[in-house]
């Protein structure tokens, strides 16, 4: 993995940890009722997707078990279709997918 990609991956891990910290033990109903929380985590999803878009094709191919395209796609949906975005999907992404992704990324560094 190129040094540049390693830096990006570490930044993604940091963003994931921030997102998990922001969400804490908030349940879905509380999340859906909290506009600030929804926007903060939406921005975290966008940040992660934007970072992932800068990972080289070489690293993407070498670590194809990581859903690079899906992560970037979630960023695009969150950024460009925010008003119609299902916030339940954002909650699930942070609560479940972030944990798995963090472990996958730690394994490749």
Inter-residue contact 105 to 17 (CB < 8 Å): no
Q: What is the per-residue pLDDT across 31-44, written as a single tens digit (0 to 9) for each?
A: 999 999 999 999 99
Helix axes 3-23, 35-52, angle to 10 degrees: 170
Q: What is the per-residue pLDDT across 9-67, written as a single tens digit (0 to 9) for each?
A: 999 999 999 999 999 999 999 999 999 999 999 999 999 999 999 999 999 999 999 99
pLDDT value, residue 27: 98
Inter-residue contact 44 to 71 (CB < 8 Å): no
Inter-residue contact 66 to 104 (CB < 8 Å): yes
């Amino acid at each position: 993995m190129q040094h540049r990609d390693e830096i990006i991956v570490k930044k993604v891990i940091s963003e994931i940890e921030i997102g998990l910290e922001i969400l804490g033990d908030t349940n879905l109903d509380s999340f859906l009722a909290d506009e600030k929380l929804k926007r903060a985590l939406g921005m975290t999803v966008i940040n992660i997707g934007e970072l992932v878009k800068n990972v080289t094709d070489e690293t993407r191919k070498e670590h194809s078990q990581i859903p690079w395209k899906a992560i970037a796609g979630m960023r695009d949906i969150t950024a460009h279709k925010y008003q119609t975005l299902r916030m339940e999907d954002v909650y699930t992404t942070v609560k479940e997918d972030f944990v798995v992704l963090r472990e996958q990324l730690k394994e490749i560094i």
